[in-house]
């Protein structure tokens, strides 16, 4: 059971903070240490709600701090959600029986699988961006810019407001750009209420394919 006394929680969190930041306390591989940090944080359970989300954020922030990630983009939540029963079982088993090896191996599998998916997404997005860039420069050279291309891949869909802000252009111009992209089949135009939105369909398909349809 997590500690209930506020002073005890603060003490445990202080110890955890020191463990996270003082590399001289132990000589562990950062991935193994990440698994231990996550377990300890979830066991302290310092907040009334949101401990799981914060714990998963701590994972990527710690890996970024150690230099294993350049930016915190490793989305471990997908793996943990899909293997939730095993996650809670091993979390508890480490507490009750000291079964740390099984817990650490679970977290290492989460990192390995998530890394594979992330790399597939990056490679797929790069290929799609190169294809769209070529088509825009060939078919719509007057509206092409790297900023517009980036906007189309920042989200699975975009809106006039997004393009207007990112490119610092008039609303009418942003709408004209998006309509031209839609007419060429580079985006799919839809309407919701009084607003239009434009879906990057190949990007959506890539997300679904790589994530297994989830």
Annotated binding site for ATP: 49-56, 87-88
Looking at the annotation, which residues are catalytic? 45
Q: Compute the radius of gyration of the chain from its Cα atoms.
A: 23
| HEC sequence for the chain | CCCCCHHHHHHHHHHHHHHHHCCCCCCCCHHHHHHHHHHHHHHHCCCCCCHHHHHHHHHHHHHHHCCCCCCCCCCCHHHHHHCHHHHHHHHHHHHHHCCHHHHHHHHHHHHHHHHHHHHHHHHHHHHHHHHHHHHHHHHCCCCCCHHHHHHHHHCCEEEHHHHHHHHCCCHHHHHHHHHHHHHCCCCEEEEECCEEEEECHHHHHHHHHHCCCC
Q: How many angstroms from the chain centroid is the CA of residue 64?
A: 13
């Amino acid at each position: 059971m997590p500690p209930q006394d506020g002073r005890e929680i603060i003490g445990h969190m202080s110890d955890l903070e020191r463990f996270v930041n003082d590399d001289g306390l132990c000589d562990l591989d950062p991935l193994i240490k990440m698994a231990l940090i996550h377990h300890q944080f979830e066991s302290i359970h310092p907040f009334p709600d949101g401990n799981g989300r914060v714990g998963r954020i701590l994972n990527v922030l710690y890996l970024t701090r150690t230099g294993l990630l350049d930016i915190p983009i490793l989305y471990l939540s997908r793996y943990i959600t899909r293997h939730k029963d095993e996650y809670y079982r091993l979390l508890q088993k480490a507490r009750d029986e000291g079964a740390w090896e099984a817990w650490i191996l679970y977290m290492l599998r989460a990192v390995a699988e998530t890394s594979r998916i992330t790399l597939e997404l990056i490679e797929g997005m790069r290929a799609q961006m190169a294809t769209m860039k070529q088509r825009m420069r060939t078919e719509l050279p007057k509206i092409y810019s790297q900023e517009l291309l980036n906007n189309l891949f920042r989200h699975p869909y975009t809106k006039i407001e997004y393009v207007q802000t990112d490119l610092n252009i008039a609303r009418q111009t942003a709408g004209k750009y998006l309509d031209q992209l839609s007419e060429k089949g580079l985006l799919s135009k839809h309407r919701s209420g009084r607003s239009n939105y434009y879906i990057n369909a190949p990007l959506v398909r890539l997300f679904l394919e790589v994530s297994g349809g989830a």
